Every structure is written in structure tokens, then in C-alpha cells.
Amino acid sequence: MLIAIDGPAASGKGTLARKLAARYGLRHLDTGLTYRGVAKALLDAGLPLDDESVAEETAHGLDLGGLDRAVLSAHGIGEAASKIAVMPAVRQALVDKQRAFAVTPPGAVLDGRDIGTVVCPDADVKLYVIATAEVRAARRWREIEAGGGTADYAGILADIQRRDARDTERAASPLKPAQDAHLLDTSEMDIETAFRAASAIIDAKRIERNAN
């Protein structure tokens, strides 16, 4: 079983992917962390973020087992990741690793921007998770405030809109739904409702597969 989940920043796809992996006993890879891992390795080594061959070599050396979400979620690492994510050679190196992860038994849930279109075009189920930029900004804002921080809603919204533009307008593997993806608009759903909707789609697919 291979489940591909794509969508823009802060759409809730990561949380959904983790919950689905737990429910169906599958491995999970947040592919955004692979781009972040390369960015962090370059930053730590004092290497430039605009040299494609240096970034490609770093991508080849990345260990998927060593990706630490807590460390890699820093804002500056996300910004650096979006710069190296436009480089075709970096993408190819990371896509090869992501595919190797995807085909390892017992199956996997991968989330990112190009899973249904490029990394796993033959996935059993493809979900494309969206929510309006305003809803996503409000979720981020609540997350930060709940964690004891202070956040600026207008700044978060501007940041999300900038990242959307970068993800959808880039030439290499831009963010877009696969033709056979199920669209899940979570603008008016909480995570439990989104999880139930996604599970219903996956259960229907499993029944169909078992019948054939």
C-alpha cells in the first residue's frame, strides 16, 4: 500500500500523513524534511546555497534515517530548503531516495509537493490537501501561540503566500494535483474530520483492491 499526499505549506498534510501511517501500519516519510536536511547540512558546513553541484553532492550523502523534525523545522532552514528545492539535480538525488523508501515493505505514506505527480505516480491512493491561505495562517498562528510564543498573523500569511508562489511557479516539479488525486479541502474541517474523510477514501480503495 502506497499513499501519496501533496499540498501547500501548513495545509495539515503532515499531521494527516502521520495519522494515516499509524492507522494502516505503514512507514512515513515527510519529504520536506529531505530538502530541509540538505539545506541544514549546507548551512552547517558553511557551503553556498546557490551552487547546484555542491548541493547535489550533499543530497547524495543525505541519510533519511537521521532527519530530526524538531531541528529541521526552524524557519531559516525552511527558507534555505526552498532555494535548493528548485535545483533539478538536487530533486533527482532526493527523489531516488524517496522512491527507495516508498517501495520498502510494508508500504508507506509519503507527503510533500510532487509525490503523486513525480515521486510515486503509481501510488494506490493520492490525496491533494488544500485550505485557504487565511485558514492555514490562522492554524500556524494558533500553533505558535499555544506553544507559548507570540506570532504576527499578517506576517505568517504573507510568508505562506510567498511560499505558495514559490512552490507552484517553479519550473522543476511545481506543486499541482495529480490528475487522479482526491481533493481534500480542509478549510472547514478539523484534523479528525480530515482523517475520517481520508480514511474513507483509502478504505474504499482497499476493498476494491481485495475484490480484484
In the complex, which residues of this chain contact ligand DC (CB under 6 A)?
9, 31-32, 35-36, 78, 81-82, 85, 112-114, 167
Nearest residue (CB) to ligand DC, 13 versus 182? 13
Q: Between 133-146 and 153-169, two packed helices, what is the crossing angle to 10 degrees?
A: 130
Nearest residue (CB) to ligand DC, 78 versus 121? 78
Least separation in angstroms between CB 166 and ligand DC: 6
Least separation in angstroms between CB 34 and ligand DC: 7
Round to whole Å and give the CA distance between 143 and 131. Answer: 16
Q: Which residue has the cell 537521521?
A: 66
DSSP secondary structure of 71-87: HHT-HHHHHHHHHHTT-
Nearest residue (CB) to ligand DC, 25 versus 48? 48
Nearest residue (CB) to ligand DC, 173 versus 198? 173
State the cell numbers at 50. Answer: 546557490
Least separation in angstroms between CB 211 and ligand DC: 32
Nearest one of 121, 87, 138 to 4, comparing CA atoms: 121
Least separation in angstroms between CB 31 and ligand DC: 4
CB of 194 closer than 8 Å to CB of 114: no
Round to whole Å and give the CA distance between 162 and 166. Answer: 6
| Residue sitting closest to ligand DC (CB) | 32
Least separation in angstroms between CB 98 and ligand DC: 7
Nearest residue (CB) to ligand DC, 36 versus 139? 36
